[in-house]
Amino acid sequence: MTEKSQSPRFTELVNSLPASVPFVGPETQERAQGRMFSARLGANENVFGSSPKVIKVIADAAMDTWKYSDPESVELRQALAEHHQISAQNIVIGEGIDGLLGYLVRLMVSPGDRVVTSLGAYPTFNYHVAGYGGELITVPYRGDFEDPEALIAMAQKEKPKLIYFVNPDNPMGTVHSADVVQALIDSVPDECLLILDEAYIECAPDGAAPAFDTNNPNVIRMRTFSKAYGMAGARVGYAIGQVELIRAFDKVRNHFGIPKISQMAALAALQDQEYLSQVVRQINDAKDEIAKIATENGLVPLASATNFVTLDCGGDGDYARRVVAELGALGVFVRMPFVPPQDRCIRISAGTPQDLALLAEVLPTALANAQG
């Protein structure tokens, strides 16, 4: 019998894409180096963990893992609606913001359609746009902030399907006020949809988020339980928008994509706002300590409204990459922005006192090695 040798019949678009992912996971790096990191400070996870009520719900729900989840996530959507004082019809649940971005791009972007974003902003969005054949058009940051005015100017010129804007920002940690964000929303051209990614909004100071207007067809806002709520492994995010847009997700989403346990855990997390406030205080204390360690070592911490601190290393991207590599070799996993001039920086997630004690111990050696 003759064996056939034939490649899979991928589409022309798929054949044109690189076989890569937006981020290399710490587990991948640990396998490559044959040892575990001692401090995991690169993925913007909440090392302080989920609410004890969440842990209990997960344990209690383990016996029900044989059941499919509610494909409409009704209980969680209703709780979110009450929390935000909007209608449950304006909310869709997805597999984190990453999953929701993928569904939205699938809904809105055909091959050749234009999309506007900031150069160096969250790369997973770009990954989805490329996967559906969209054309990315970028504008530079203004200093270490995304530039709303430049995004709108480019949108008026290029007439894109989507505009992507993150507030507070990843990877720089900076934040615009609610007035600035509202002005951005009000300026979106009629033919565009603004994606307002608010993954870190629970960590931001008051006054960073404008009021919800679920009648506006030109904006969709995305939030997550992965960051301040400490549930990155559960994959629960949600989007808020006009009813017609939200209903359209039913055409493309994985209706059983959010496990029953994850839905129940997110509901418990939402109902424990006292614990959320406690965690945000711990995050702020950790950010203060990171800034102190950085300053003592000649690095410049940027003001942060997220659960991480971005540190200006004072050199170029090559130097910052050496610092990241040296810290990794010394057991501390961190990441950095990908695009100049932001790639002069490294980014360190809020950690436990033990994590930050190790950072303080090894950072001088890492910097010396990177310079040497």
Domain that holds residue 43: 23-49+274-371
The pLDDT score that the predictor gives to residue 1 is 53
Average pLDDT over residues 54-79: 96
In the chain the first and final C-alpha atoms are separated, in Å, by: 61
Q: Over the stretch 194-235, which tens digit does the pLDDT of each residue have?
A: 999 999 999 999 999 999 999 999 999 999 999 999 999 999
Domain end call among 235, 254, 271: 271
- Looking at the structure of the chain, the number of domains it has is 2
Q: Are residues 35 and 111 in the same domain?
A: no
pLDDT 10s digits, 291-310: 999 999 999 999 999 999 99
pLDDT band at 372 (very low <50, low <70, confident <90, very high): confident
Does some domain include residue 71?
A: yes
Do both 69 and 124 map to the same domain?
Answer: yes
Last residue of a domain, one of 251, 271, 291: 271
What's the predicted TM-score (pTM) here?
Answer: 0.96
Whether the per-residue pLDDT at 121 is higher than 60: the answer is yes
Q: What is the pLDDT of residue 7?
A: 77
Same domain, 94 and 197: yes
pLDDT bucket at 19, cuts 50 / 70 / 90? confident
pLDDT score recorded for residue 345: 98
- Examine residue 357 and state whether it is found in any structural domain, yes or no: yes
The per-residue pLDDT of the chain, averaged, comes to 96
Is the residue at 63 inside a domain? yes
Residue type, 57: V
Domain CATH for 245: 3.40.640.10
Of 271, 295, 321, which residue sits at a domain end?
Answer: 271
253 and 364 inside one domain: no
**Tens of pLDDT along 69-97?**
999 999 999 999 999 999 999 999 999 99
